[in-house]
Structure 1
Amino acid sequence: MNGTEILTALQTGAVAAQMGTAFVACDESAASPVHRVALVMAETAMMRSISGRPARGVVNRFTELDTEPDRPAVPAYPYAYDAGKTLDAAARSRGESGYGAFRAGQGAARTRPIRAACLMTLLSEELRNAATPHNR
C-alpha cells in the first residue's frame, strides 16, 4: 500500500483504505519472522483453507490444499483455523514453514519493514504528493 493506492481508493468512492497488510511488516507487529519473509516473497490468492470463508492469503503448502480436486469441505470457523494452527506447529517442529495461515492483501510484496509511526508519516506524505495536481 502506498499513497497513490490510497488516493485511487478515495477517488473511486471509498471513504477509507484497508491497509492491514501494510502494518504486518512493521517493527511493532507480532507477526512471526516466517510470516514477514513470506509477505515480501509471496504470491497471494483467495482461498478458503484458512477459515472456511474466502480470504486472501500467502500461497503456501497449506493454502494449496484448496486446489486439491477431491478435498473435503473446509469446516466452519474456528475449526479450520484451529486445525491449521495445529498443522503449522507440527510442521515447524520439523523445520517446515510452509503451513502457516498467513493472511495478506494484494500488495503484500510491497510491505515496508519500518516502524508503524514512520509508515503512517510516509503514507501521509505519499498521499499528499499523489493528490497534488502537478504530480498527476
Structure 2
Amino acid sequence: MILTSIEETLADTIHQLLHKAGSHRIFLLEGPIGAGKTTLIKGLCNALGVMDVVHSPTFALINEYKTIDNGCMYHFDCYRMHGISDAIALDFESYFSSGYYCFIEWPSKIEPILPEHHFLIRLEIATPNSRNLICSSY
C-alpha cells in the first residue's frame, strides 16, 4: 500500500488498514523518525471513536484515550525506553491483555513481551510526501 498526500488519502488508508487488521487489537508501528507513525495512529484513533486529543506519548510512554462508547485505547511510544525492564515495570502486558486497542510505536524495543497475535505496520519513507505501508498479521 502506498500513502501519498496524507491529507487526501489518510481516511481511505485508515479504512483499508482497519479492514486488513480484522479482529486484531494490538497494532505495532515500525518506521524511522518522521515516517508518520503518530499521524497514522491519530487517524486510527479518530476512526475508532477516540474523544481525546491524540498526541505522542514520547515522554509519558503510555497515553490512554477515552472512546465514545466509554471504552479506551492505549498508545505506547517505546523510543525512549532503556530496556525491556521499563515495559515490565509499567506492566505493559496488562494493557495488551485488556481487550482494548493498543497502538505501539517502536515495538522492537519490547519484542520479548509483545503478544503473539498482532497487526504490524511498517512505514517506509518513499519520498518527502509519500509513504509505503507494509502490513502483516500475526
**Greater C-alpha Rg:** 1
Higher strand share: 2
TM-score (norm 2): 0.27
Higher helix share: 1
